[in-house]
Amino acid sequence: MSFNVLLYRWLHPFVDKLVLKHFQARLHYKLTASELNGVYNSINET
């Protein structure tokens, strides 16, 4: 049990960075897609 905790604490920063990068990339992609969608919709409305 304690070994897993030590391993987790040692790996935690690396995992955090990977997860953060992954979510930032996904969030950025979603925001960009929604922005493009909004621009496309506003062009279609006029």
17 vs 29: which has the higher pLDDT:
17
Taking the whole predicted model, whether its pTM rises above 0.75 is answered as no
Q: Provide the CB-side half-sphere exposure for 7 (13 A, CA).
A: 4
Buried-state track 6-43, b at ≥16 Cβ within 10 A, e below 16: eeeeeeeeeeeeeeeeeeeeeeeeeeeeeeeeeeeeee
Q: What is the mean pLDDT of residues 36-45?
A: 84
Check residues 20 and 45 and name the one with the higher pLDDT.
Answer: 20
